[in-house]
């Protein structure tokens, strides 16, 4: 063990301090965020494809649907 290893703090949530430490929670967090972002994107695409009658049934206007569909996937 070198001096740097003993001084460097270890943070298990991000794997700092141990280069052999895998961070499955961080990796899973990124994967879950990506899945959520893609689900939002698909939902917004579906919303943009609804007809006026379908939009009226759910209580929103075409302009509101367009505004929501235009949002970035990370919103």
User: Mean pLDDT in runs of 10 for the chain (75 residues)?
Assistant: 50 54 79 93 93 95 94 80
User: So what's the pLDDT on residue 23?
Assistant: 62
User: So what's the pLDDT on residue 49?
Assistant: 94
User: So what's the pLDDT on residue 17?
Assistant: 52
Domain boundaries, the chain: 3-69
Residue of 34, 5, 7, 33 lying closest to 19 (CA atoms): 5
User: So what's the pLDDT on residue 12?
Assistant: 54
Q: Residue 6: which residues within 8 A CB-CB, separation 6 or more?
A: none
pTM of this prediction? 0.60
């Amino acid at each position: 063990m070198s001096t740097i290893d003993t001084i460097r703090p270890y943070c298990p949530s991000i794997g700092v301090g141990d280069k052999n430490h895998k961070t499955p929670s961080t990796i899973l967090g990124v994967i879950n965020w990506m899945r959520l972002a893609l689900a939002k994107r698909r939902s917004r695409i579906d919303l943009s494809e609804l007809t006026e009658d379908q939009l009226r049934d759910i209580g929103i206007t075409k302009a509101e649907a367009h505004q929501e569909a235009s949002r970035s996937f990370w919103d």
